[in-house]
Amino acid sequence: MTPHDPLKLFAIDRLKGPNGTYWFGTDLLGRDAFSRLIIGIRQSMIIAFAAVGIATLAGTIIGLLSAWWGGIWDGIFMRIMDVLLAFPAILLALLIIAIVGPGTMTSVAAIAIVYTPIFARVVRGPALSLKQRDFVDAARTFGSSQGFILSRHLLLNLVAPLAVQVTLALAWALLTEAGLSFLGLGTQPPTPSLGLMLAESRNLMQHAPWLMIFPALTIMLGILGFNLTGDALRDILDPRTQRREA
């Protein structure tokens, strides 16, 4: 996948600017920045997708059951979510990593915990209104079980808001992962990651600006891409916009 080994040191080619051999230049230790960027994107994406996947699953289950059961369970679940939401995302992630120790799996878990409450809220609101709709009563008149109504009638109606939320959360997760790695608490060296590359380039900003520009641009494009996907998905999945066109 990569033109050079991202961990290999080319000692005579240290701090070379972008050229034909090293497309995005080399860093202080003479490692190819382009190869490191590719592996860094993979690392950041794996963490972002895994964390958002777990957060989506956990948040959807919590939100759905809160809305469905109501009463005291709704109170307990949502107050826990409120406590988690009260902390700034990066601070809560830092707290979790400070307790468990840095690493890829910890980053995934920390980011997943940080974004679970957002999914729980996104699901609970519409689920509360959907559960009052006549088609849920209609499903009951055919003898549908609770699990069937939850999965087929409620969950499928939540796909549109969830899909949009997933793309937005991927953008935040990418940024949070970069932030954690920048602070030295996410991906550990020598494995490259976008945040880590930014941190390493910080002191060389004036001598080798390419080391900072390319990872920063990649993060920006990644977030922009996820956001644009979210916007497009919302337009496609919202039946109201479809009906206007029809």
Partner 1 sequence: MTRLLSVKDLRVGFGRDPKANEVVKGVSFDLDAGETVAIVGESGSGKSVTALSINRLVDFGGGRITGGSIALTRSDGSVLDVGPAEERVLRSVRGHDVGMIFQEPMTSLNPVHTVGAQIEEAFRLSKGLTGSQARAATLDVLQRVRIPDAQSRLGYYPHQLSGGMRQRIMIAMALAASPRLLIADEPTTALDVTVQAQIMALLAKLRAETAWR
Residues that bind partner 1 (CB under 8 A): 133-135, 137-145, 148, 152-153, 156-157, 159, 239, 243
Pick the closer one to partner 1 by CB: 48 or 154.
154
Pick the closer one to partner 1 by CB: 5 or 137.
137
Pick the closer one to partner 1 by CB: 137 or 235.
137
The Cα 141–Cα 154 span in angstroms is: 16
User: Least distance from C-beta 136 to partner 1, angstroms?
Assistant: 8
Pick the closer one to partner 1 by CB: 2 or 242.
242
Pick the closer one to partner 1 by CB: 144 or 229.
144
Sequence-distant (≥ 6) Cβ neighbours of residue 205 within 8 angstroms: 212
User: Least distance from C-beta 222 to partner 1, angstroms?
Assistant: 31
C-alpha pair distances (Å), 200 with each of 29, 47, 101, 215: 11, 20, 21, 11
User: Least distance from C-beta 244 to partner 1, angstroms?
Assistant: 12
The Cα 241–Cα 50 span in angstroms is: 31
What is the SS3 string spanning 95-155?
HHHHHHCCCHHHHHHHHHHHHHHHHHHHHHHHHHHHHCCHHHHHHHHCCCCHHHHHHHHHH
Residue 154 C-beta-side C-alpha neighbours within 13 Å:
29
Cis peptide before 189 (omega within 30 of 0): no
Pick the closer one to partner 1 by CB: 101 or 134.
134
